[in-house]
Structure 1
């Protein structure tokens, strides 16, 4: 098939394949995948505040939980305490318990820790919500999150029934920390889990504009075409190497055949008639041995060419 037969409308057929592959890739990237759910501004601010401390206290809170004492008590355990001031009931994005959903959202961002969140509920009561980050686990024995939450919260309720008041609920945090130690140290050879580095979430992406989509599609198509070109070039290079290697083997075999023909003449000559003939035979034998060494070490085309020249000179001298 000629090069012209491999073209449609003057364009190589492989380019149509590259474009089709780019379209499929665009669908997989932009059509099949869905963007991650947006992070609320409040959760983003909370996580930013937890980068250097275990306790985040929103300004204007009721002060029912002592933030300073809680921070000292928690230390570097894998626990974060969030004290919100603004009621969550007015947020219409919630479909269930707003406090539970906000706690789960924050836990997803501080994935290796557990979260204690205090916020106002529908009745105006400042109460706690407990949740577990998706990557929180005992290194020796992964924590069953449901068992952990029910066990720890149950221990908190039992241990603080007569210790909390309407104006001071620090005892709940204190009991939670003690129960946390008990549960996490049962099977952990490394002690209580420590809080990992908190990385704030990236900015929530805005809706993609037409120009951005066009640029992205163009980039994918250009990348696909470039990949095809590189693959073709790599194939041509590999084919050239195989051709050169075959040619080199053929030349080496021909050189070996010529050396074999010289062997009897140079290494097993007739009895010399005089000293001059003897020296000539010795010189030819030495040159033959040196040539064998050069043939063994020849690797490149230039080295094979040089060896062939030496062989031709030796053949001429041996006549």
Structure 2
């Protein structure tokens, strides 16, 4: 059976790696979301450890009131979108010390969301001390938010934050557990498939080498018989010496051939000597050569 290079397992590996990345991402996100259930589900401010010295959480909560705004301070920027996913109708305000972008917002589906408000708030704090007090970012954003609501929704009472979604009931963990088990099965199947393919490839290579050596050895024996016949009357000494020398060198190359390039060189030299010795060649090569002298 001719071995064929596998392609299906490459696709399976790509799917497996992608699924692994998704599961790990969801697991990390689930762990982060469940680690802060009370601070952002039922209050408006979460401050990461170490950021308390430059952010007054209680003051920020008083400024925000019951507006649909939640603030995360000192966390990685990806958590802005993560928490916007679980806080319906809430604008998540991310505050940090990143140059040129100390604040950003993520929309949780609030009708009062306006992207340009963050730029307005950033411009408003340019002359304020934000190195030692990040709370001013919240003040300016709330001021811009109120102005936007008053202008866009005149006569509408200030919007209040809606009820939070139910706390995580472990559904994500159950899904992750099922997906992990399924991925384990898929991984075992892929490993078994790879082992089978590697074994098939090794068998194919060894069988091809054995077949080549057997076939070439038979041709060398036939060439040796023809070289001996060149000593008969009618054969020129020059032709006899050249063919005999070539045979000896070819035999040495055959015994030392260990890779495809060396085996190919042996085949070419053998064809040349067979032609010189008058051994019939395959039709495709014989048609391109003049008859042997």
Structure with the bigger percentage of helix: 2
Q: TM-score range by the shorter chain?
A: 0.3 to 0.5
TM-score of the superposed pair, with normalisation by structure 2: 0.45
TM-score of the superposed pair, with normalisation by structure 1: 0.42
